[in-house]
Amino acid sequence: MKELMFFDANCRIGDCIEAYPGVTELLADMDYYGVDKALVRHNGIAKLPLSSNREIAEMLKQYDVQQRLTGVWTILPDSCDEIPEPDEFFRQMKANRIGAITLSPFEHRYQLRRIVIGKIMDAAAERRVPVLLDAFAGQWAQLYDFLERFPENTFIYTELGGKWGSDRNIRPLLETYENFYFEIARYWVPEGIRDLAEKYGAERILYGSAFPAGNQGNGMLQLKHSGLNDADIAKIAGENLERILKGAQL
């Protein structure tokens, strides 16, 4: 019997550059390391948001026949009519096996204000759709302002770079926002996972790899040897993310 169910919260596939891995390569990596499921976003979101949304939906439909992957779409301000109204947007998400959203405000050149993205953010909060915060890596002042404006949303902090040295910025967010989750890819802090779980609850921590930049086995080994009990390890490995995604009302 398999020991744990691993659900990777931080994977990227595809791009306009063919060298980047796609669904087939990700699934092969997951099989090698024993990862069951993954939450995946498109590498091209920052450059080509709308086509990236379409492409990842098509990639999942064509290549993920066992439905092990859940996609991520990016949002844009509604003022330019680039994405549908929230009800239709979330309907399309459900139809295309998309379970979370993200945003790239700095690359897409818009302000993080309620008058700009309040409608879609409020709709996501009402439906408990998780919002990935990978765009805010190192942008702590902007991240704090953003969460103060949208405190009711469900957030997952992910990034490709290392998270070492980020505790003084991360911990106040875990203390303040009950729906703020921390993904552990490249969180190379001795006994850090256990300390976060014991202080804020294992329910707030998610396994992730930052694939393809990160190695899926690294985080698995780190978690298994974190010193936490089996129940808490199981939550972090995959149960937490599965619960978050199942709780979204799409």
18: pLDDT confidence band, cut at 50, 70 and 90?
low
Strand order in the sheet with 131-132: 7-13, 37-42, 69-74, 98-102, 131-132, 155-157, 180-183, 205-206
User: Which uninterrupted H or E stretch holds 40?
Assistant: strand 37-42
Owner of token pair 């707030």: 204
Report the C-alpha gap between 94 and 60 in whole angstroms: 13
pLDDT in tens, 89-142: 999 999 999 999 999 999 999 999 999 999 999 999 999 999 999 999 889 999
Beta bridge partners of 183: 206
Assess whether pLDDT exceeds 60 at residue 1: no
pLDDT in tens, 40-52: 999 999 889 999 9
Assess whether pLDDT exceeds 80 at residue 17: no
What six digits make up the tokens of 98?
């998309």
Q: Which of 27, 58, 53, 28 is nearest to 42 (CA)?
A: 53
- Taken in order of first residue, the domains within the chain and their CATH numbers are 7-247 (3.20.20.140)
Q: Please indicate whether residue 79 or residue 153 has the higher confidence score (pLDDT).
A: 153
**pTM score, whole prediction:** 0.95
Q: What letters, b where the CB count within 10 A reaches 16 and e where it falls short, cover 107-145?
A: ebebebeeebbeebbebbbebbbbbbbbbbbeeeeebee
- The confidence score (pLDDT) of residue 78 equals 87
15: pLDDT confidence band, cut at 50, 70 and 90?
confident
User: What does pLDDT average to over the chain?
Assistant: 94
Q: How far is CA 130 from CA 103, 109, 198, 231, in A?
A: 12, 22, 23, 23
pLDDT in tens, 147-196: 999 999 999 999 877 777 789 999 999 999 999 999 999 888 878 999 99
